[in-house]
Amino acid sequence: MTEATVPNQESVFTSTARDWSSDITTFKGVPWGKAMMWIFLVSDTFIFTCFLVSYMTVRMTVTDPWPNPSEVFALAIPHELFGWQFLEAPIPVPLLLIAIMTFILISSSGTMAMAVNMGYQRNKKGVIWLMLATAAFGASFVGMQAFEWYKLIVEEGIRPWGNSMGAAQFGSFFFMVTGFHGLHVSAGVIYLVIVALRVGLGHYDKTNFEIVEITGLYWHFVDLVWVFIFALFYLW
């Protein structure tokens, strides 16, 4: 099995040609589940890119002005909390909530990466706690997204079918893309919790804990998508 675990010592072409022309497995040393997850992620990439390409097309096509996301998503730092006034007036900060959400998701990716590492060290306790931490970060991300939706719908009157600031598609794409991403995050949280529980119950003791890496792949992908949404939807 040394062949499978020594990565990329040959040149690009030799290595690729050898693996693709070998028998039994094409991706040497890659468990079935991991191969399947990678291919699924390619498919999912196409879904999100199609959403984003549609967003680009429609945004470039509409003749109504596009609302300025940096104003729409501004959040004011409150000037008082629980009756204690510490500022003269609320300070509006553009994209504050989104920035926090971004940092949270990146942190969750960090803990996830650590969990994978713990898995390969067979440190079950570390895996469980880090995965649960990841899930907690993910859940708080979804919570903030819910708050953001609430703010947009109730306070700013933005609807999927229209808004008072410009092109109707602004709301349509916002709710659809972030909603779809939020669904992925929520599914990821459930997936993480289930895997963490099963690790705790000892379901994977006989394996090499690849399941943690597979879960991690999915979770990092969700983070990856957010990178694109953050740049193309909120900042652009």
Give the H or E element holding residue 77: strand 75-77
Q: For residue 221, which of 94, 50, 44 has the smallest C-alpha distance?
A: 44
Residues 203-222 touching another protein, rule: CB under 8 A, are 208-210, 213, 216-217, 220-221
Length of the chain: 236
Closer of 86 and 227 to another protein (Cβ): 227
Least distance in Å: CB of 201 to another protein?
19
Least distance in Å: CB of 194 to another protein?
15
Report if residue 76 touches another protein, rule: CB under 8 A.
no
Rounded Cα–Cα distance for residues 82 and 48 (Å): 42
Report if residue 29 touches another protein, rule: CB under 8 A.
yes
Report if residue 102 touches another protein, rule: CB under 8 A.
yes
What's at 223, amino acid-wise? D
Rounded Cα–Cα distance for residues 31 and 16 (Å): 18
Report if residue 149 touches another protein, rule: CB under 8 A.
no
Q: Structure tokens of 165?
A: 């600031």
Report if residue 163 touches another protein, rule: CB under 8 A.
yes
The whole-angstrom distance between residue 229's C-alpha and the CA centroid of its chain comes to 10
Least distance in Å: CB of 131 to another protein?
14
Q: How many residues bind another protein (CB under 8 A)?
A: 102
